[in-house]
Amino acid sequence: MSLDSVARFALDHAGSLQCALFLLIFAGGWITEKVVLAQPTTEKLRHSAFNVAFLAVVTPVQLVTIALCVAVAEWNTAHHWGLVYLLPHANSLWIQLGVMFVVLDFLDYAYHRTAHRLPFLWRLHLVHHSDQAVDVSTTFREHPVETLVRVSFLTLAVFICGASLPVLILRQTVESVANISQHITFRLPPRTARWMGWLFVTPNLHHAHHHFQEPGTNCNYGDVFSIWDRIFGTFAPMPSDEIVFGVDTHMGAASRSFPDLLGLPQAARAVRRRYRARSIFPTSAPSEV
C-alpha cells in the first residue's frame, strides 16, 4: 500500500479513526489509573459516569459545529482562501501542516486565556474546572454552550487562516490525545516533566491549571505547546503536593446533580449579581449579608 493511499484512507475515515484512537487512549488511561492507584471501583465508575454523561448533551453540538468547520476547511482549499496563501510556498506540506498547526495551537491558547477573563465564558468554563477529582474522564466535562462557542471560534480561525482539512484532522487528533494525557491522574517525574515542559503541556503543568485558587487557575493555558505560556508570562509550574483541584468559589460542585451542574453558569451569574448589588447597596438587603 502506497503512502498516498494510506493518506487518502486516513482522510476518508478521519472521524472513525479519531474516535477509535480517542477511546483507546481513554480506556488505557482509565484502566491504568484504576489498577496502579488502586482506586475504589464504585467511586471511580460513579465519577467517570458523571463526566461521560456530558457526551449526551455535547456530542450533538460537536457534530454539527465540526461538520461546519470541515466544510469551511474544504472551501478554503478549493478557493485558496486565507492568510496562509499570502506566505511563500503556501501549498507546501510544511506550510499547510506545520505552520498552520502551530498557528491554530496559538489561537487555542488565546481562546483559553480569554475564557478565563470574560465573565460569560468563564461561567461556562467553570463547569470543567469544578471537577475536584481530575482524571481522564474530566476531558469530557464541558458545558454544551462552551462547546458551541469554542468550536465556533475554531471555525472562524480556520476560515481566517485558510487552514486545510488535513491540518484540521491532524490538529484535532493531536489535541484529543493531548487533552486526555494532560488530565490523567499521574504526574511525570520532576526531571522528565521539566524537560518535556519546555515545549509541551505535561500533566504536571495542566494539573497546576486546575488548582482551586489563583494564580494557579490563571496559568498554563497552553493546549499542546507550552511555549505560549512562556512567551506571554502565564507559565507557572507548581509542586504536585500543593495542588488542590476545583474552584475555590464553587468547592461544593462535586455534590451537585448533573442538571444542577449544567445550570452552574446561570447560578454563578446570579451569585455575581447578588454580590455586585451588595457592594453598590450595602444596606439594601441586610438579611443576606
Contact 104, 167 (CB under 8 A): yes
Cβ partners under 8 Å of residue 251, min gap 6: 132, 212
Q: Which residues pair with 245 in a beta bridge?
A: 211
- According to the model, what pLDDT value does residue 122 have? 96
State the pTM of this model.
0.87
Distance between CA atoms of residues 266 and 256, nearest Å:
14
- According to the model, what pLDDT value does residue 151 have? 96
Distance between CA atoms of residues 208 and 236, nearest Å:
8
Task: Quote the Cα angle for 190-27-176, to 5°.
Answer: 70
Q: Which residues pair with 211 in a beta bridge?
A: 245
Contact 87, 174 (CB under 8 A): no
Contact 124, 45 (CB under 8 A): no
Long-range pairs for 205-208: beta carbons < 8 A, 24 or more residues apart: 205/229, 205/235, 205/237, 206/182, 207/134, 207/238, 207/240, 207/243, 207/245, 208/236, 208/237, 208/238, 208/243
The cell numbers describing 227, all together, are 511555549
Ramachandran angles phi, psi of 162, nearest 5° = 80, 25
Reading the chain (289 residues) residue by residue, the pLDDT tens digits are 554 565 556 556 566 777 788 888 899 999 989 888 877 888 899 999 999 999 999 999 999 999 999 999 999 999 999 999 999 988 888 888 999 999 999 999 999 999 999 999 999 999 999 999 999 999 999 999 999 999 999 999 999 999 999 999 999 999 999 999 999 998 999 999 999 999 999 999 999 999 999 888 999 999 999 999 999 999 999 998 899 999 988 887 555 788 888 998 988 776 655 544 444 434 433 332 2
Contact 258, 50 (CB under 8 A): yes
- According to the model, what pLDDT value does residue 23 have? 86
Query: Which residue matches cell numbers 471537577?
Result: 131
DSSP string over 100-160 = HHHHHHHHHHHHHHHHHHSHHHHHHHHHHHT-SS-SGGGGG---HHHHHHHHHHHHHHHHH
Query: CB 49: neighbour CB atoms within 10 A?
Result: 11
Ramachandran angles phi, psi of 245, nearest 5° = -80, 150
Domain boundaries, the chain: 3-288
- Per DSSP, the three-state class of 257 is coil
What is the number of H-type helices and E-type strands within the chain?
14, 0
Cβ partners under 8 Å of residue 182, min gap 6: 201, 202, 203, 205, 206
Cis ω for the linkage preceding 119 (within 30 of 0): no
Contact 23, 180 (CB under 8 A): no
- According to the model, what pLDDT value does residue 281 have? 39
